Amino acid sequence: MPVLRKPTLNWSDVTPKADFMNRRQLMMGAAALGAIASPVAAELETAAAAEGEGDPVTAELMPNTLEEITSYNNFYEFGTGKDDPSRYSAGLTTDPWAVQIDGLVDKPGSYDLADILGRVTLEERIYRFRCVEAWSMVVPWVGFELSCLLDIAGVQPGAKYVAFETLVRPEEMPGQRFRTLDWPYREGLRLDEAMHPLTIMATGIYDEPLPNQNGAPLRLVVPWKYGFKSIKSIVRMTLTEEEPPTTWNQINAREYGFYSNVNPEVSHPRWSQASERRIGGGLFARREPTLMYNGYGEEVASLYDGMDLAKFY
């Protein structure tokens, strides 16, 4: 299924014609509201004009609905239930928003999100998303390459990793009133992973601003890694020489490695990672086989050349 490996899927790759005709109307409506300027509407015009029926293989890759993507979430700052984030995140203030960028950079400081957005190019990326809990979705993100932001800050030669932190604001994030996790939620990437063109900072879904439950206003998306690496509502990035501590790795290093690349051959100690349940597939849907690097191996496998993937999981 070569379509899975295309870094940027277009609507015509993932959606049978009848569906993207419907989506086209939906998306044109969203574009008319002026939510976020993006090339999506133009792309959909082209797709809608194209001839040919969708085939069953690509139909399986149809993006999940906005309803599915925004009602089944992991965001422990709002609670541990899958519907807690959608129920309890409405009160989160996401504007104004700033990201502190520090550590081994030429221009450390507080970067206003509005300024950042004036300096990067937003584009749509339709990515597969695989949670370590063995469920998956296909999400049409809007965002920009993380490398653009790192270039703005100026990464110094000694930097080898990027550490990320989520906002701490218990008044607006009710889950933070409990010690479920050691707040803030922390994540990290090796610098080459962070600079990879598939790695994006998402600011929207379906051409709309990112809903709070999905990590508004700015979250990481690393499509070849388990979902917990894709940290939400980011307020700080630190360039470091040493591998930074990360939330799930600190809780249980045996179960959650620093790398956490999607790998059907390395089981989680408590369950197999060989297959996944697609959200929205219905109760009796067949589980789908999980793909190495979540289907992005052609682009990213070389980052891990010579590494023992069972050891560095």
Residue 185 found at the interface with ligand MTE (CB under 6 A) = yes
Residue 127 found at the interface with ligand MTE (CB under 6 A) = no
Residue 260 found at the interface with ligand MTE (CB under 6 A) = no
Residue 76 found at the interface with ligand MTE (CB under 6 A) = yes
Q: CA–CA separation, 83 vs 167, rounded Å?
A: 20
Cβ neighbourhood burial of 172 (10 Å; 0-12, 13-18, 19+)? middle
Cβ proximity to ligand MTE: between 154 and 174 the closer is 174
Cβ proximity to ligand MTE: between 54 and 224 the closer is 224
Cβ proximity to ligand MTE: between 196 and 229 the closer is 229
Site string for ligand MTE, 143-182 (x = CB under 6 A): -----------------------x----------------
User: Six-digit token pair at 29?
Assistant: 């409506």
CB of 74 to ligand MTE, least distance (A): 4
Q: To which residue do tokens 């520090």 refer?
A: 102
Where residue 107 falls (left for φ over 0; alpha for ψ -120 to 50; beta otherwise) is beta
Cβ proximity to ligand MTE: between 47 and 201 the closer is 201
CB of 255 to ligand MTE, least distance (A): 12
Count, residues near ligand MTE per rule CB under 6 A: 15
CB of 53 to ligand MTE, least distance (A): 31
Q: Map residue 137 onto helix, strand or coil.
A: strand
Q: CA–CA separation, 121 vs 123, rounded Å?
A: 6
Q: Are 303 and 192 in contact (CB under 8 A)?
A: yes
Site string for ligand MTE, 220-239 (x = CB under 6 A): -------xx-xxxx------
Residue 77 found at the interface with ligand MTE (CB under 6 A) = yes
Q: CA–CA separation, 168 vs 183, rounded Å?
A: 7
Phi, psi dihedral angles at 75 (to 5 degrees): -160, 85
**Alpha carbon of residue 158 to chain centroid:** 27
Q: Map residue 114 onto helix, strand or coil.
A: helix
Interface ranges with ligand MTE (CB under 6 A) = 73-77, 131, 166, 185, 214, 227-228, 230-233
